[in-house]
A and B are shown apart, each in its own frame.
Chain A
Amino acid sequence: MKGTRRFDPRPKIILLAAGAVFFFLPLRLEVLGAGLMLLLVPGGLVLKTRLLRVLSSILPILILVALLTPFFYRQGTPIWQMGETVVLTLRGLEETGRLLIRFTGITAVFALFYLTTPAERFLSALEWYGLPFRAALVMSLTLRFIPSLFTLYQRVEDAHSLRRAGELADRNGFFRRFRNLLPTLTSVLIQAVKKIGPLSMSLELQGVGLSSRRTRFVRLPRFRDVAFQFLLVLLILSLLVTVLVIFPQLWYNGAS
């Protein structure tokens, strides 16, 4: 785990983009499956149950895809016919496999990235790629405000439930629950909006908007210190592209 966190987020972003694109390429099912395995096996070894937890969250949608997709394809070699009507074809099964691998692959690529990259390093990497300072500032301040706003929500909810304990005893029904939530949300929003003034003043006092050079809390290593990691990533990607260009039989030709 430590090793994956030491891997610089800047070349990791290139891998993330390449991984997401790979699963959309019209390749043969076996090639996509091998790509998925290359992600899941080392990923599973490093992240263990954390990756499994992410993948289990997409299980309902995978089941839905497996049940619905095969019947959308009538072309190709029939496998199951009811009278004259073709119900299931080989093409339908192949497309289902493709969609299952694609969705699992994209989920795994993003999960591997976010589970091994701390948010502040990710933001610094985005800044390195050209994300404006103000956008990065908004994102990092938001990450700091989320826990405080959630605590505020809990306090307001507690205060409201103390005031109307009898009313809230009967909380059944979606609309009643929804209606009961509105006074709490109103109070939370007013308290949240009231924070805008002090936050704005504090930003101004800290010199946000001035032309002077900003200091950084998180500093990424110099490019030359991680050049080897960039080189490694580019080498892997070039190798992959070369293999896909040299062997056209790896591409899906649509015949089944």
Chain B
Amino acid sequence: MSSSENSPKDREARSRNTTRIASLVIMTAVTAVFTFMIRIPIAPTRGYLNLGDVAIFFSALIFGPWTALISGGLGTALADIVSGYSQWAPLTFFAHGLQGLAAGILFHRIAGPEARLGQRRTTTGLVLAFLAGTVIMAGLYFAAGAFMFGPGAALVEVPGNILQNVAGIVAGTLLWSAVKRAYPPVTRYRW
């Protein structure tokens, strides 16, 4: 270590950097676990609802757009690779990453740092975050699906993707509020 790297300013910068890396690691792992290990069966279709979008919206609301971009994209892409759908991993990385980025930017711009459930601007922020996230995620999957296996089959996936987003914003918002109340220091990890 050179002496210039030991100044208080450098140490602070390094500490901020490692905190960012640590929060990215933890939220990426959370997103991957929520995506491929926690699944709620949907009886009529015999399909599953995964909770990856819940983790993405939670990251966007608590940690901000940049953590949501990386942890959302990387976490879901890793989940795709581990569960044998590696052909989707590159697309998933962009679709879910951009979904988290858009949701995070809109929510924090509109609701501000002191956002609380019940405030008008918080509700507006949540609605716009959901809309942007859904349009980006479902839109990218549809476009890529249409290119890969035709518009007919790609269209069939759209309702499922919208449902994932609805579950994501509903549960993500409830978790955002609950975690912030139970563990207030969480807000210091936003960047």
A-side residues, CB < 8 A to B, are 53-54, 57, 61, 64-65, 68-69, 71-72, 95-96, 99-100, 102-103, 106-107, 109-111, 113-114, 134, 137-139, 141-143, 145-146, 148-150, 153, 174, 177-178, 181-182, 185-186, 188-190, 192-197, 199-201, 203-204, 207-212
B29 A142 Cβ-Cβ under 8 A? yes
B33 A153 Cβ-Cβ under 8 A? yes
B189 A150 Cβ-Cβ under 8 A? no
Name the contact of A68 in the complex, choosing from B15, B21, B150, B175 (C-beta under 8 A). B150
Q: Indicate whether A199 sits within 8 Å of B25 (C-beta atoms), given known contacts A185-B175, A209-B17, A212-B1.
A: yes
Most chain B beta-carbon contacts within 10 A, residue among A134, A145, A177, A193: A193
Chain A proximity of B185: nearest CB distance (Å): 8
A178 B167 Cβ-Cβ under 8 A? yes
B175 A145 Cβ-Cβ under 8 A? no
B87 A107 Cβ-Cβ under 8 A? yes
**Considering the chains assembled together, what is the distance between the CA atoms of A141 and B156 in angstroms?**
36
Contacts of A64 in B (CB 8 A): 152-153, 156
Most chain A beta-carbon contacts within 10 A, residue among B32, B51, B58: B32
B-side residues, CB < 8 A to A, are 1-2, 5, 13-15, 17-19, 21-30, 32-34, 37-38, 40-43, 49, 51, 54, 58, 70, 74-75, 78, 81-82, 84-87, 89, 148-153, 156, 167, 171, 174-175, 178-179, 182-183, 186, 189
B43 A174 Cβ-Cβ under 8 A? yes
Task: Kindly list the 6 A-B residue pairs having the minimum CB-CB distance in the complex, ordered from nearest.
Answer: A68-B152, A145-B29, A200-B22, A199-B22, A110-B86, A209-B14
Contacts of A142 in B (CB 8 A): 25, 28-29, 32, 74-75, 78
B74 A138 Cβ-Cβ under 8 A? yes
Contacts of A137 in B (CB 8 A): 21
B84 A53 Cβ-Cβ under 8 A? yes
Contacts of B41 in A (CB 8 A): 174, 177
Chain A proximity of B172: nearest CB distance (Å): 10
